[in-house]
Amino acid sequence: MPNPARETTFLPLTVAAARTAVAAAGTGPAACDARTVALRAEEADAAATECWLALLAGCATAGRRTLPSRLRALTEAATVYAGGRCMVRRVAEAEVRINDAVRDGDGAEFAEAFVGYDQAVATAVVSVQGRLGSATA
């Protein structure tokens, strides 16, 4: 059986924040948007893992070509969920860094850029929880 603590993940904060958002959202449009963010986060994380393996092996696999579209889909979903707030610039900069690292085959830059991307998207998702919590309090 796989051990989740040993599985490769590039978006641990975002995946965790999205799962928490789904659990807290209940029903309605916010719940649908939260589920979309969670799905896109898991897809992007899987694409990142596949891309990482391709980078390590020095291969030009489909995983390297798929990652940019998965990241854009996650960014778009998180932007809709967060209401387009301040995350756009930080996320866009991190996406550019990730895409440059993939193109250059730079694994260290790839991993470092994902840290910034993960933090930016997770922060946006968590900020919605803060607003929703204060609106119901």
Query: pLDDT at position 73, please?
Result: 96
Q: Is 44 in contact with 90 (CB distance < 8 Å)?
A: no
- Domains of the chain as residue ranges with CATH: 11-129 (1.20.120)
Lookup result for tokens 């895409």? 99
The H-assigned helical ranges of 26-86 are: 29-57, 62-82
pTM confidence score: 0.86
Q: What are phi and psi of 85, to 5 degrees?
A: -70, -170
pLDDT for 132 equals 55
For residue 124, CA distances in Å to 5, 55, 90 come to 25, 29, 11
* Contact yes or no for 102/51 (Cβ under 8 A): yes
Secondary-structure percent of the chain, ordered helix, strand, coil, rounded to 5: 85, 0, 15
113: buried, middle or exposed (CB in 10 Å: 19+, 13-18, 0-12)?
Answer: buried
User: CB of 14 within 8 A of CB of 122?
Assistant: yes
Give the Cα separation of 91 and 48 in Å (integer).
Answer: 15
Q: What is the pLDDT of residue 75?
A: 92
Per-position pLDDT tens, the chain of length 137: 444 556 779 999 999 999 999 998 887 788 899 999 999 999 999 999 999 999 988 888 887 889 999 999 999 999 889 887 667 778 888 889 999 999 999 999 999 999 999 999 999 899 887 665 544 44
